[in-house]
Amino acid sequence: MHYTSTRDNSIVATASQAIAQGISKEGGLFVPTALPTLSAADFTVLQGLKYNERATYVLSRFLTDFTAAEVEECTTAAYGTQFDTASVAPLNAIDAEHNVLELWHGPTCAFKDMALQILPHLMRVSTQKSLPGEEVVILVATSGDTGKAALEGFKDAAGTRILVFYPVDGVSEMQRLQMITQEGNNVGVCAIRGNFDDAQTGVKTLFTDAAMQKQLKDGGMHFSSANSINWGRLVPQIVYYISAYCDMLAQGKVAMGEPINVVVPTGNFGNILAAYYAREMGTPIAKLICASNRNRVLTDFFESGVYDTARPFYTTTSPSMDILVSSNLERLLYHLADEDSDAVADMMRSLREDKKYTVPSVVKARMDALFAAGCADDEQVAATIKTVFDKTGYLLDTHTAVAFYVYDAYRAETGDTTPTVIASTANPYKFTPSILEALGVEKDEKPYEQVAQLHDKTGCAVPTPLAALRTKVVRFTDVCDGDAESMRETVCRMLHLD
Ligand SMILES: *Cc1c(COP(=O)(O)O)cnc(C)c1O
């Protein structure tokens, strides 16, 4: 099995090259040239397996230059007792219509752990194969959850260093505390004056900056990415949609082969793209429902076929979805445009130069067949959190609440009653102040008091890693400007390059 680039499909890479490199040299994203398929017989086998075994089964189909033992070593290390439930990604039927796929049982309490607990292992094996002897510098732009999950995954991993940039006013207090208290001898964290898109643009610029790359090379290092532009981030996410279908079967929600819908609260388009790949592999998924917050660039895109980022950027109560440039959409476009990398390169050029692009009508028609889309503003999110809690006793985080709202609206509007899985992307305690507001609780000023208040109000258990933050030492207080040059200086300083 091979990988190529969305912007130049003459490129051929192995899985380990795609993962070690992160992004293709001309700026495109690595995509598989063909997908492995799953039959009913595969699903029967998968149903009888534990989560880490399901991951081995699926990942070995993609990582064809890994040995079976290497894949198994990675999945065993990643999906063990660092998750607070043996099922790793449990499917929780909170009422007849809402099956919640809880993806936040890992060490940082957000779905990013599902990929970032395994990525360092995939990266180690990949680097040994394709760039032996070099130190990998993981450069991350985060809207809050990726940064912490990547730091936690890569801390003290041999042969790696990790540097994280986050928007100074763009993350929740809990997310900030998680990052600035990060332990480990190979980690660095810096805030930027700007938003997530600035951080992501800066990081992408550094990745493709020839002078920066030479400096690194001379120091025996190379960059790679832990953002979902890295194939190694996406491929583990495919597993939990396949796993969720197995659990829908086990819970009697569907018979073998009967379709489900999947709803995903979306930012960078990585999570929902993984659901698309699961579907293309043969998982019976009818509609992929893309849920956005007030930054509804994707909702408008699915409606009109025009991706237009020339619009105001809003900070919302679901900060991990405050994104205007959804990087992984590029992969979807490549597949839906009959793998025409020139067409994709043109659209991406147009995005850079004109801040927008329009998809060809054949692509739009394919999007319409596969996807539905909707959005929720902060008020609708707050009302959803309150209603669902009052009705069922289940506490949604703000991101999952976006998905809930959009799903209920979709179901009411279309009458589509296909059994549906809603991806739940974070534990509510990560966004405590917004949840308290939604529930109408007068907030204390101190973050840890707020956590206690939410616990008193709901009785929901506080995750151990969040409770433990209280006694951690603050290690990282740097702030730099959000342009590539300032970020370059910060990287050089942190890596001791001049
Ligand atoms: C990252 C994140 C999202 C968005 O996921 P994408 O893969 O970027 O679309 C949604 N919710 C939470 C809690 C996240 O951390």
- Predicted local distance difference test score (pLDDT) of residue 364: 98
Q: Is pLDDT of 498 > 80?
A: no
- Angle between helix axes 231-250 and 119-130 (nearest 10 degrees) is 130
* Segment 15-28 mean pLDDT: 91
Q: Look-up: residue for tokens 């342009």? A: 483
Instruction: Report how far ligand 1's centroid is from the alpha carbon of 87 (Å).
Output: 21
Please enumerate in sequence order all residues whose Cβ is within 8 A of that of 157, keeping only pairs 6 or more positions apart, or say none. Answer: 120, 123, 124, 186
- Predicted local distance difference test score (pLDDT) of residue 225: 84
Per-residue pLDDT tens for 320-359?
A: 999 899 999 999 999 999 999 999 999 999 999 999 999 9
Q: Order of strands across the sheet with 8-13? A: 8-13, 3-5, 30-32
> Which residues sit opposite 306 in a β-bridge?
358
Distances (CA, A) of 225 to 32, 147, 192, 231: 18, 11, 18, 9
Instruction: Report how far ligand 1's centroid is from the alpha carbon of 218 (Å).
Output: 35
- Predicted local distance difference test score (pLDDT) of residue 475: 95
Q: What is the CATH number of the domain that holds 143?
A: 3.40.50.1100
Q: Is pLDDT of 174 > 90?
A: no
- Do residues 276 and 370 touch, judged by C-beta distance below 8 A? yes
Out of 425, 432, 435, mutate this one to test ligand 1's pocket (max ligand atoms within 8 Å of CB): namely: 425
Distances (CA, A) of 291 to 315, 376, 403, 411: 16, 8, 5, 13
> Which residues sit opposite 139 in a β-bridge?
163, 225
Q: What is the C-alpha R_g of the chain?
A: 21
Pairing of strands 3-5, 30-32: antiparallel
The letter for the amino acid at 229 is: I
- Predicted local distance difference test score (pLDDT) of residue 78: 97
**Which helix (DSSP H) or strand (DSSP E) does residue 12 occupy?**
strand 8-13
Q: Is pLDDT of 229 > 80?
A: yes
| CA-nearest residue, atom 15 of ligand 1 | 145
Distance of alpha carbon 437 from alpha carbon 36, whole angstroms: 46
Distance of alpha carbon 223 from alpha carbon 216, whole angstroms: 8
> Which spans in 393-469 are helix H?
398-414, 432-438, 447-458, 464-467
267 Cα nearest atom in ligand 1: 9
- Taking CB atoms and a 6 Å cutoff, what residues make up the pocket around ligand 1? 110-112, 145, 228, 265-271, 320-321, 399, 425-426
Instruction: Count structural domains, the chain.
Output: 1
Output the average pLDDT for the chain.
Answer: 95
- Do residues 262 and 420 touch, judged by C-beta distance below 8 A? yes
SS3 371: strand
Band of the pLDDT at 197, cuts 50, 70, 90? Answer: confident
Instruction: Report how far ligand 1's centroid is from the alpha carbon of 268 (Å).
Output: 7
Instruction: Report how far ligand 1's centroid is from the alpha carbon of 110 (Å).
Output: 8
Out of 146, 301, 321, mutate this one to test ligand 1's pocket (max ligand atoms within 8 Å of CB): namely: 321
Q: What does DSSP assign to residue 463?
A: P
Instruction: Report how far ligand 1's centroid is from the alpha carbon of 143 (Å).
Output: 9
- Do residues 196 and 167 touch, judged by C-beta distance below 8 A? yes
- Do residues 331 and 31 touch, judged by C-beta distance below 8 A? yes
Detail the DSSP E strand segments found in 274-326. 285-292, 306-308
- Predicted local distance difference test score (pLDDT) of residue 163: 96
Q: Is pLDDT of 227 > 90?
A: no
- Predicted local distance difference test score (pLDDT) of residue 170: 85
- Predicted local distance difference test score (pLDDT) of residue 171: 87
Instruction: Report how far ligand 1's centroid is from the alpha carbon of 493 (Å).
Output: 30
228 Cα nearest atom in ligand 1: 7
Instruction: Report how far ligand 1's centroid is from the alpha carbon of 69 (Å).
Output: 31
Q: Which of 143-147, 253-257, 339-343, 410-414 has the lowest mean pLDDT?
A: 143-147
Band of the pLDDT at 158, cuts 50, 70, 90? Answer: confident
The letter for the amino acid at 252 is: G
This prediction has a pTM of 0.94
268 Cα nearest atom in ligand 1: 8
Q: Look-up: residue for tokens 């006793």? A: 393
Which residue range is the domain that position 398 belongs to? 1-498
Please enumerate in sequence order all residues whose Cβ is within 8 A of that of 344, keeping only pairs 6 or more positions apart, or say none. Answer: 6, 7, 28, 330, 333, 334, 337
Band of the pLDDT at 51, cuts 50, 70, 90? Answer: very high
Detail the DSSP E strand segments found in 17-61. 30-32
Record the tokens describing residue 484, joined without a space.
């590539």
- Predicted local distance difference test score (pLDDT) of residue 144: 80
Band of the pLDDT at 22, cuts 50, 70, 90? Answer: confident
Per-residue pLDDT tens for 24-38?
A: 988 899 999 999 999
**Burial track 126-145 (b if 16+ CB lie within 10 A, e otherwise):** bbebbbeebbbbbbbbbbbb
Instruction: Report how far ligand 1's centroid is from the alpha carbon of 467 (Å).
Output: 22
> Which residues sit opposite 137 in a β-bridge?
161, 223
Q: Is pLDDT of 318 > 80?
A: yes
Distance of alpha carbon 299 from alpha carbon 271, whole angstroms: 16
Per-residue pLDDT tens for 262-295?
A: 999 999 999 999 999 999 999 999 999 999 999 9
- Do residues 264 and 400 touch, judged by C-beta distance below 8 A? no
